[in-house]
Amino acid sequence: MDWLTGIPAWFADPANWRGDAGVPTLFVQHLGYSAASLGLACLVALPVGVWLGHTGRGGVLAQQIGNAGRAVPVLALLGILLLVPGFGRTWWTLILCFTLFAVPPVLTNTFTGMREVDRGAVDAATGMGMSASEVLRRVELPLATPMIMNGVRQAAVQVVATTSIAAIFAFGGLGRIITRATGSAGIDLSAALAGTLLIAAFALAVEYGLAWAGRRADPVARARRAARKRSGRVGSSGGAGAVTTS
């Protein structure tokens, strides 16, 4: 059980928090890879998913892209891209790989969210004289936001968790802690588990943070919260009035 007691000792060692190989530097690298990949994926997948969902076209295409994203191992994809002439071991190769990995959940959830918008709400907005762009902006997109945010959350967690494999190909990120701990000199199980815990904590923080953001962005949930606040104020003012009257 020495490896178990060694985990707190690893976190308490100042050497693991300093320099280019320290946790803060590796975390910033990991965050940069993940944020760039997710940002590019959203830049590509969100407009395409919104357009396909709004027009009702390309449902099969969106589904096939989603299935392909789940079927292709990201480790194999990164290995192939590293061998393609013009790519090689560059940060662009890494970002492209994880962007391709993040596109399917964003695209499929955006398409699904747009298609699941209540057609009655769309017809009502059209009947009120809204143009197609106004219906898209003021009705469809707000109602599809929870599903869209769910896709972004799934992609973000997948990318954060999977970016650790970049260290296998001598890139940076928190995965470097694990690769250093499992080198040719032997396995430092405490350090490897410490790195795993850091990656898991990062992924969980992204999971719960984006889940919270998704709830805050949900217009239906916002309306319910506003209604509860109004009813609470009415109830408290009514109670105060009753006390004053008595």
| pLDDT at res. 237 | 59
Virtual CA dihedral for 82, 84, 88, 92, nearest 10 degrees? Answer: -80
Residue 140, domain member (yes or no): yes
Residue 243, domain member (yes or no): no
> For the chain, what is the mean pLDDT?
86
Identify the CATH number of the domain in which residue 105 sits: 1.10.3720.10
Instruction: Express each pLDDT in 147-195 by its tens digit.
Output: 999 999 999 999 999 999 989 888 899 999 999 988 766 788 899 999 9
Residue 5, domain member (yes or no): no
Residue 229, domain member (yes or no): yes
Residue 9, domain member (yes or no): no
Q: What is the pTM of this model?
A: 0.84
Residue 167, domain member (yes or no): yes
pLDDT of 104 > 70? The answer is yes
Confidence of residue 246 (pLDDT cuts 50, 70, 90): very low
| pLDDT at res. 218 | 82
Instruction: Express each pLDDT in 39-66 by its tens digit.
Output: 999 999 999 999 998 888 777 777 787 7
Residue 209, domain member (yes or no): yes
Count of domains for the chain: 1
Provide the residue range defining the domain that includes 224.
19-234
Residue 181, domain member (yes or no): yes
